[in-house]
């Protein structure tokens, strides 16, 4: 049995807080820095390494972290989770997203069903459907092939699949795996649906309605928007739409869809990219084999997350360093900075993944915690970010820990040599330079040009963005966030904080308002 305890009740956390602070400037300057870069690196799956040389850690800090990982029973808690314990206590649910890509422990039976078998069965159904669409066996009313797939969904039913699609679009085109163009409609802003509908040929488009709950206002509104557009084009909407939902949702039994594929309540929306939620659109866009490779990459990283030794477990280590930065060093934010255009929407996905999971002020038992939990997450791809908000990161009054991601190779291998280097070399040179600039700083008598340094960062380095590497990267962050939730003793798998706004919006739409709500409704002309 694992014991769920608040972070500040753990002796080893007090000991970690008492360790001497690492002087990052000294640690990262000259030979010291070179040694650290070689030493503070742990292999991940799919050829990635997690390098934490530029974090404020040393042997003393890492030893204290190992003790905390043990006392907090991080490995045991993950084991309990993947063996089917009700870890999502708020909603009284199991947490099974890792089962969509592999079986780390015992078979998990819930509601009388072997859950691994259920997820694989859904993947097989999707694969069969996608293959038939690609082969022209499932076609539009005129017997013509579908060329475009449009996902309608929001939050977890949009961000992860969209980020992964964008990450792999060029890879698929280059590797002969591109089957259908994918588009996404998420915002209830009518301009979103209109713009997408204007950019496609609806007669050759297949829409994937994705809603785990089947009740999300934005998604149901956009579904009607699309159905109207199909009707106006003289098309039968039910021949152009499939659904991905949970078996208990109102959408599950509807006749409005060509086919329905299922996830379940044991997979949180933001953790659903490796379920049917990502599976349908990605298998249609790139083929089921590519989606299978993505799952394999995620499964390989999951295996590393199950390692007991902190220094061999990249996710546990990354989580622990984040908690040290948040709860001992007092840093409020974390920036995620992928040096890869393919990962342009990855930070947006991580914002939901991290902040919806760990933005909590009560523990698993509903008691207020007296320490900070999830940091504010933001990010942009490099080098674009360098020319926008890095000013604050380098010289602002807050220290923002950074999480870089870099790749040795571009996806398309189409490059030019300008001023003696390729664009890919320039990209990689910039990320290397930033790590050292942030850590070491640079003294200048002119205070305006002075860089104080001591700004910590880590980097995940890989070979190239591929289905397998993007799977591993996704699993890294999912599991990191899970371990942080364990350390903070919060439930990372519910999201009650999003409900109040939805309830008030419904009141506005029903004109049941008073006070400030009425005034704002009037101001906005509702
Ligand atoms: O898939 P659904 O049920 O439509 O939910 C969409 C999103 O809305 C949320 O519930 C937040 O409102 C997210 O957690 C979820 O990813």
Q: What's the CA gap between 427 and 298, in Å, rounded? A: 26
How far is C-alpha 389 from the chain's CA centre? 22
Query: 2 to each of 80, 85, 97, 397, 494, how far by Cα in Å?
Result: 8, 10, 21, 40, 20
**Residue 134 known to be catalytic:** no
Q: Which of 326, 449, 332 is nearest to 395 (CA)?
A: 449
Q: What's the CA gap between 151 and 153, in Å, rounded? A: 6
Helix, strand, coil shares, percent, the chain, to 5: 50, 15, 35
Collapsing DSSP to helix, strand or coil, 491 comes out as coil
Beta-ladder partners of 49: 43, 461
Of 502, 506, 512, 519, the active-site residue reads 502
ipTM: 0.98
Measuring from atom 4 of ligand 1, which residue has the nearest CA? 211
**Ligand 1 pocket, 270 CB below 6 A?**
yes
Q: What is the helix (H) or strand (E) element at residue 245, kind and residue range?
A: strand 241-246
374 CB neighbour count, 10 Å cutoff: 22
pLDDT in tens, 458-469: 999 999 999 999
Instruction: Write down the pLDDT at residue 1.
Output: 86
DSSP 188: S
Per-residue tokens: 7 = 């972070």
Of 315, 356, 380, 478, the active-site residue reads 356
Query: 36 to each of 27, 40, 54, 485, how far by Cα in Å?
Result: 8, 6, 8, 29
186's CB contacts (< 8 A; 6+ apart) are 152, 153, 154, 158, 162, 192, 218, 222
pLDDT in tens, 195-217: 999 999 999 999 999 999 999 99
Q: Which of 195, 469, 161 is nearest to 285 (CA)?
A: 161
**Residue 387 known to be catalytic:** yes
**Residue 204 known to be catalytic:** no
151 CA to middle of ligand 1, Å? Answer: 14
Contact 247, 211 (CB under 8 A): no
**Ligand 1 pocket, 56 CB below 6 A?**
no
DSSP 104: -
**Ligand 1 pocket, 211 CB below 6 A?**
yes
Instruction: Write down the pLDDT at residue 253.
Output: 86
Helical segments of 418-466, H only = 423-440
Would the pTM of this model clear 0.95, i.e. be above it? Answer: yes
CA atoms lying within 13 Å on the CB side of residue 154: 18
DSSP string for residues in 15-59: HHHHSPPP-HHHHHSHHHHHHHHHHSEEE-GGG-EEE-TTSS--H
Show the CA angle centred on residue 229, arms to residues 226 and 231, nearest 5°: 110
**Ligand 1 pocket, 275 CB below 6 A?**
no
**Residues of the chain with confidence (pLDDT) below 70:** none
Q: What is the helix (H) or strand (E) element at residue 183, kind and residue range?
A: strand 181-185
Contact 453, 409 (CB under 8 A): no
Q: Which of 283, 276, 278 is nearest to 249 (CA)?
A: 276
Beta-ladder partners of 58: none
- The number of helices, as runs of H, and strands, as runs of E, in the chain is 18, 15
How many residues belong to the chain? Answer: 526
CA atoms lying within 13 Å on the CB side of residue 111: 11
Instruction: Write down the pLDDT at residue 161.
Output: 98
């Amino acid at each position: 049995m694992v014991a769920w305890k608040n972070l500040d009740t753990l002796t080893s956390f007090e000991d970690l807080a008492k360790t001497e602070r690492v002087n990052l400037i000294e640690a990262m300057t000259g030979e010291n820095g070179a040694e650290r870069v070689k030493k503070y690196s742990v292999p991940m799956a799919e050829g990635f390494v997690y390098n934490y040389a530029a974090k404020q850690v040393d042997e003393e800090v890492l030893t204290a972290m190992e003790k905390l990982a043990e006392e907090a029973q991080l490995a045991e808690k993950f084991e309990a989770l993947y063996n089917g314990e009700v870890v999502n206590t708020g909603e009284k649910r199991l947490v099974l997203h890792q089962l969509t890509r592999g079986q780390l422990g015992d078979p998990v039976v819930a509601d009388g069903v072997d859950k691994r078998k259920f997820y694989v069965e859904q993947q097989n159904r999707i694969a069969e459907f996608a293959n038939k669409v690609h082969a022209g066996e499932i076609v539009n009313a005129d017997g013509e092939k579908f060329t475009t797939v449009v996902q309608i969904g929001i939050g977890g039913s949009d961000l992860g699949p969209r980020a992964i699609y964008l990450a792999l679009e060029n890879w698929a085109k280059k590797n002969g795996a591109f089957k259908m163009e994918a588009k996404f409609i998420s915002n209830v802003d009518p301009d979103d649906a209109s713009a997408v509908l204007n950019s496609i040929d609806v007669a050759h488009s297949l829409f994937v309605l994705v809603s785990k709950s089947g009740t999300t206002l934005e998604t149901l509104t956009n579904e009607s928007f699309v159905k109207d557009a199909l009707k106006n084009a003289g098309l039968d909407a039910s021949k152009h739409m499939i659904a991905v939902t949970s078996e208990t949702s109102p959408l599950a039994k509807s006749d409005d869809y060509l086919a329905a594929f299922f996830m379940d309540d044991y997979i949180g929306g933001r953790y659903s990219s490796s379920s049917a939620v990502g599976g349908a659109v990605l298998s249609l866009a790139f083929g089921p084999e590519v989606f299978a490779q993505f799952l394999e990459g995620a499964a390989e990283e999951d295996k590393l997350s199950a390692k007991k030794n902190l220094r061999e477990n990249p996710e546990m280590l990354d989580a622990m360093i984040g908690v040290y930065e948040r709860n001992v060093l007092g840093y409020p934010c974390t920036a995620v900075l992928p040096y890869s255009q393919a990962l342009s929407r990855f930070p947006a996905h991580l914002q939901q993944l991290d902040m919806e999971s760990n933005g909590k002020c009560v523990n698993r038992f509903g008691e207020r915690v007296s320490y900070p939990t999830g940091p504010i997450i933001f990010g942009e791809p490099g080098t674009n970010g360098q020319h926008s908000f890095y000013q604050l990161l380098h010289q602002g009054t807050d220290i923002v820990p950074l999480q870089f991601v870099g790749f040795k190779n571009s996806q398309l291998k189409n490059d030019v040599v300008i001023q003696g280097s390729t664009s890919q070399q320039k990209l990689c040179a910039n990320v290397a330079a930033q790590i050292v600039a942030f850590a070491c700083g640079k003294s200048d008598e002119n205070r305006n040009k002075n860089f104080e340094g001591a700004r910590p960062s880590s980097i995940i380095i890989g070979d190239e963005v591929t289905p397998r590497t993007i799977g591993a990267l996704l699993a890294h962050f999912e599991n990191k966030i899970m371990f942080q939730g364990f350390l903070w003793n919060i439930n990372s798998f519910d999201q009650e904080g999003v409900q109040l706004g939805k309830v008030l919006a419904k009141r506005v739409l029903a004109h049941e308002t008073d006070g400030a709500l009425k005034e704002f409704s009037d101001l906005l002309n509702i």
